Amino acid sequence: MRDYADHDATGLAQLVAEGAVTPGELLDEALARVVALNGRLNAVVLMQEATARRHIADGLPEGPFKGVPFLLKDLGCEAVEFPSHNGSRLLADTRYARDSAIYARIRATGVVTFGRTTAPEGGVGPATEAAVYGGPTRNPWDLSRTPGGSSGGAGAAVAAGIVPAAHGSDGGGSVRIPASCCGLFGFKATRARFPDGPYVGEGWAGMAIDGFLTRSVRDAATLMDACAGADLGAPYWAPPLAEGYAAAIRRPPPRLKVALCPTTFAGAPVDPECRAAAEAAARLLESLGHHVEEARPAADHGGMMRAWTRIVACGTALGVRKALAGRALRPGEVEAVTQGAIRHAEGISGADYLEAVGKVHAYGREMAAFFEDWDILLSPTLAEVPAEVGRFAHVNDDFEHFRMGPGMVFDYSPFCAPFNASGQPAASVPLYWTDGGLPVGVQLAARFGADEALIGLCREIEQAAPWFDRRPPLSL
């Protein structure tokens, strides 16, 4: 299908609805693209072609994306018919007794899911290089670079044109980082906007949430509308949407008061290309009539990241312990960073853990106070251009250094985790490419619960500075 990549998921669904193409033909095209591209990307795994074809034959749900090929992240989104490695040799070929609520809602949109996309072990880190997949996942804009993490396989698959949209998740930037690295749109919704059950009540003390990697704002809006709302027995839920994401993008947002932060939130310099991306976005917003001034939030960013590191270490250790079911860990079953996280967690008492959660909650209040005076906080998504493959490989067992050390995760990605901690909505928008052709995302964040205002602004930006036709060198 020559014009497959000329359409977003909404466009492909329209072709199916018009009878111009069948779901089977779209699946054939997606599978052919896996064959053509995945050997160099290493992004698509655990293929389930027979399952996808059976779903088509049995009749797809009459949802907004009926017949559109789709991929699930290989972390979470548990589904009976889609086994998972969860990025780990320890968890390879995990099977599930029932579907997760998020998968059930995704399936109801009518998508044709045919496999999963790579993720780092434990979802930890801004790159995707898990040993269980036999090598790193690479960025279609530059194969020497990472597509980001932890939804790196999703980012690579969508950017390369294998699928128009894919499932991801974001516990510290894991949707927005791949969006920035791969020239895509990635939206992290307000905490608890989507269901976590029945397998977990919350991820990483409420910092993790599902999401999507897309090439258009409208695809993300429709997917999020389809998945929004708490599942049965959820411990808490997000403030209800007034009309929904799709309704919010059908009209321009009000003129907004935007704080531009071209440094880290702590005031440290970032790569000049990342600063230039944020400043260019600020000029665009000013041209659209929004009020922009430089400002940055006064909050304990370093303290939050130390608390975040403790919470993730404890979550990682718990996940490994549950998988082992009482037996000892064997050599090579988990990677060095995971081993380090387990050791780090051993030194954290129950009181220490609760103190870390309290620190994250206090940080959320500090960030909320900043948004009493501002509608939007504009910054780079990352402090650097996409990292080279290997920089964040899980080969060092010093977990605290991996997260907090010089040049490591927090230095590279200081902008994303703050909004997982605060629970606020934040999006990475692809507005800038370096002279060397690397995408650099711009992050926009809004008040807690203000998802509709944020996505409305993203749509206005997309219309003013379209990005859909920018394609990486490795794509079809």
Active-site residue, 66 included: no
- Residue at token pair 């898990």: 130
Which of 84, 88, 100, 150 does the annotation list as catalytic? 150
Locate the DSSP E strands across 29-89: 44-45, 69-73
The 8-class DSSP code of residue 406 comes to: T
Question: Which one, of 114, 139, 113, lies nearest residue 42 by Cα?
Answer: 139
100 catalytic residue (yes or no): no
Question: Cβ(42)–Cβ(32) under 8 Å?
Answer: no
Amino acid at 216: S
Beta strands in 288-399 (DSSP E): 291-294, 376-380
Residues β-bridged to residue 112: 69
Q: Please name which of 174, 150, 379 lies closest in space to residue 274, comparing C-alpha atoms.
A: 379
Plot region of 309 (φ>0 → left; ψ -120 to 50 → alpha; else → beta): alpha
To which residue do tokens 């919010």 refer? 248
Angle CA 243–288–7, to nearest 5:
60
Q: What is the DSSP string of 130-155?
A: -GGGTS---BTTBTTB---SSSHHHH
Helix 451-464, helix 217-227: angle, nearest 10: 160
Q: Which of 100, 174, 379, 413 is catalytic?
A: 174
In whole angstroms, what is the distance from residue 391 CA to residue 55 CA? 40
Catalytic residue among 66, 73, 188, 359: 73
Angle at 33 between CA 30 and CA 38, to 5 degrees: 120
271-303 in b/e form (b: 16+ CB < 10 A) is: bebbbbbbbebbebbeebebebeebbbebebee
Starting at the earlier edge strand, list the strands of the sheet with 439-446.
44-45, 112-117, 69-73, 165-170, 209-214, 185-188, 426-433, 439-446, 376-380, 257-260, 291-294
Q: Which residue has the tokens 């998504």?
A: 381
Residues 112 and 67: beta-carbon distance below 8 Å: yes
Our answer to whether residue 73 is catalytic in this structure is: yes
8-state DSSP, 126: S
Active site residues: 73, 150, 174
